[in-house]
């Protein structure tokens, strides 16, 4: 029984790692631009398809494919910022609806490019390592990559926001766009940076997990639902909240799935979000209401 609990915890840590990447990107975009990117799940999907195209179909090395996916999805994010969110600035609902339109476009492009079938990607490594010296508690090396990459990305993001000039500007814009503009911070530049980072984080999550999940054009749907639950529970606009809520949600979801079933786990997650919305709409870490 202890083995099972430990094993489930390891699985939950893996799930929370990539969910945190997605949710943090979503929060970053919301924080700076005040818009909820409904197409975030599709950015994750694009990252996964970058690995399908470069790694599975054209035999590029796995980590090079992941890097290409990161840059490519980041560029798509830049395009979204320029074409959709900048004209819609000051109209959050308009930006959200425009991103729903963009989501349909990305899904169709994936269907046209790759077909609706599920992609089979052989993981670059099939190796399984046992943890803590207990042979029953194991983790596939591929999952370990995801966990390590997520920690590295999040730590880099934290350092970037904390110490770099851009990071300070980004946080200033998130706190008070007008005051930031008065200090000479370029709103457009900041929005571009946030959008690139936010999209790239979703892309890297998709690229890393592509061999481990079912990769198909509509995979973004369940991802965006999960991401919404996480950012609401964590407090919309709070990066720390997103990480903590991702861990919390992943543990609840993994344990309920293991000991009951997946649909019940989804219902529990949604109920968790509804309760937070009713009892404490600012979430666990939210400070002020921006939506």
Least distance to other proteins, CB of residue 285, Å: 16
Q: Smaller CB distance to other proteins: residue 92 or 140?
A: 92
* Token representation of residue 260: 């009951």
Binding site for other proteins (CB under 8 A): 36, 84, 87-88, 92-94, 96-98, 100-105, 107-109, 111-112, 221, 225, 228-229, 232, 263-264, 266-267, 270-271, 273-274, 277-278, 281, 291
In the complex, the smallest distance separating the C-beta of residue 231 from other proteins, rounded to whole angstroms, is 9
- Pair of tokens at residue 242: 């997103």
User: CB of 198: closest distance to other proteins in angstroms?
Assistant: 17
Which C-beta is closer to other proteins: that of 182 or that of 278?
278
**Nearer to other proteins among residue 75 and residue 97 (C-beta):** 97
Smallest distance, other proteins to C-beta of residue 93, A: 7
Q: How far is the CB of 89 from other proteins (least distance, A)?
A: 12
Q: Which residues contact 231 (CB under 8 A, 6 or more apart)?
A: 23, 26, 27, 30, 241, 242, 245, 283
Give 105 or 156: the residue with its C-beta nearer to other proteins.
105
């Amino acid at each position: 029984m202890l083995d099972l609990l430990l094993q489930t915890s390891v699985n939950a840590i893996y799930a929370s790692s990539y969910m945190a990447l997605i949710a943090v990107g979503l929060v970053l975009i919301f924080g700076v631009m005040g818009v909820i990117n409904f197409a975030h799940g599709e950015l994750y999907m694009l990252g996964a398809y970058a690995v399908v195209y470069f790694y599975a179909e054209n035999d590029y090395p796995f980590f090079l494919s992941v890097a290409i996916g990161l840059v490519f999805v980041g560029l798509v994010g830049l395009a979204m910022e320029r074409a959709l969110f900048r004209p819609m600035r000051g109209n959050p609902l308009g930006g959200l609806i425009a991103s729903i339109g963009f989501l349909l476009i990305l899904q169709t492009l994936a269907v046209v490019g790759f077909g609706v079938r599920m992609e089979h990607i052989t993981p670059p490594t099939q190796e399984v390592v046992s943890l803590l010296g207990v042979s029953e508690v194991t983790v596939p090396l591929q999952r370990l990559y995801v966990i390590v990459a997520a920690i590295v990305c999040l730590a880099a993001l934290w350092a970037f926001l904390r110490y770099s000039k851009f990071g300070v500007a980004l946080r200033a814009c998130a706190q008070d766009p007008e005051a930031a503009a008065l200090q000479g911070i370029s709103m457009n530049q900041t929005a571009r940076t946030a959008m690139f980072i936010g999209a790239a984080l979703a892309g890297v999550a998709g690229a890393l997990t592509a061999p481990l999940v079912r990769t198909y054009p509509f995979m973004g749907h369940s991802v965006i639902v999960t991401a919404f639950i996480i950012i609401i529970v964590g407090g919309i606009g709070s990066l720390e909240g997103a990480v903590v809520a991702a861990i919390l949600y992943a543990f609840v979801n993994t344990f309920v799935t293991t000991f009951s079933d997946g649909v019940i786990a989804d219902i529990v997650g949604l109920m968790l979000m509804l309760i937070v919305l009713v009892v404490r709409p600012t979430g666990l870490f939210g400070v002020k209401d921006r939506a």
